Amino acid sequence: MGESKTKFKSQRSFGIKVIILIAIVTIAHQWYIEEFPDEEEMTIATFSYGITSLAAGITAIFVARRYWGSEVFGKTYLSLGIAFIFLFAGDSIYIYYDWYTDEAPYPSLADVFFLLFYPFAAYHLIQNIKYFKKDLKRGPKIAVPVLVILIVGIFAYMSFDLIDEEPFDFYFGLLFILSSAVMFALAILGAAVFRYSILGTAWLLLAGGLFIYTVADVWYYYLELVEGYSGIHFVNTLWVLAISIIIYALYKHRKTI
């Protein structure tokens, strides 16, 4: 009993340290892009989104490898790993268009890879939820579409005056917002399913990371509509924060079971 309590305290202490570290990295990232805003030169900030996405993808693949013999974890975490690899590929193509061609990086081929993130990540969430909670109550089932409608509605309300001016950007952005909103709603549902299990903390962190990622997506596509996005905008730091939390969630999952 005493050994178990000591282990729990040690894990909690480690968790707090990791959260503090993520907070420090987030603050340092934003400070860096504000203090060194030279957009004519590549910096660490140029690659931060892609690097964190690649790290999340590799971490998820390691989780998949560890549980490959299981009924659900192996395939679902491999799918999540592939999802983040697509984000990395999309960011790499975005940087290529932005720095080495005269073509606009948005919209571009990069968005195809960004969009591919969602079905693979959604597969991970849906299969885990179905496996561990086969009979969902009506409340959670209703909550998913309500959350999706709410998030999409917020974006549409914010952008309503710009629909006539930038119809393509609005509807193209709406596709990503819808996908991101579905992801977030599924993550919340997963957190509810696992809240009393040993995976509760990992799923809560995952839901938190996806929530921040959704906020960043809504903000980014609104900024694109009003031509307010830049490489030094805070939305870039939000993405890094979100993916960093997701990486820690993956680590927690790997260590929990």
What are the domain boundaries of the chain?
A: 14-256
Alpha helices, DSSP H, located in 36-72: 44-66
Model pLDDT, residue 1? 52
Q: For residue 135, how many C-alpha atoms fall within 13 Å in the half-sphere facing its CB? A: 0
Percent of the chain with pLDDT over 90: 51
Contact 27, 217 (CB under 8 A): no
State the DSSP string of 112-140: HHHHHHHHHHHHHHHHHHHHH-SS--HHH
DSSP letter for 229, please.
Answer: -
- Look at 79-88, 170-179, 219-228 and tell me which has the smallest mean pLDDT: 219-228
What are 93-142's pLDDT values in tens digits? 999 998 999 998 988 999 999 999 999 999 999 998 888 876 677 777 78
Distance CA 40, CA 213 (A): 27
- Per-residue CA distances from 89 to 42, 82, 83, 117, 200 (Å): 18, 10, 10, 10, 31
Q: Read off the pLDDT of each residue in 83-97 and give the average, rounded to a whole number.
A: 96
What are 33-42's pLDDT values in tens digits? 888 766 666 7
User: Quick one: which of 68, 73, 21 has its CA closest to 247?
Assistant: 21
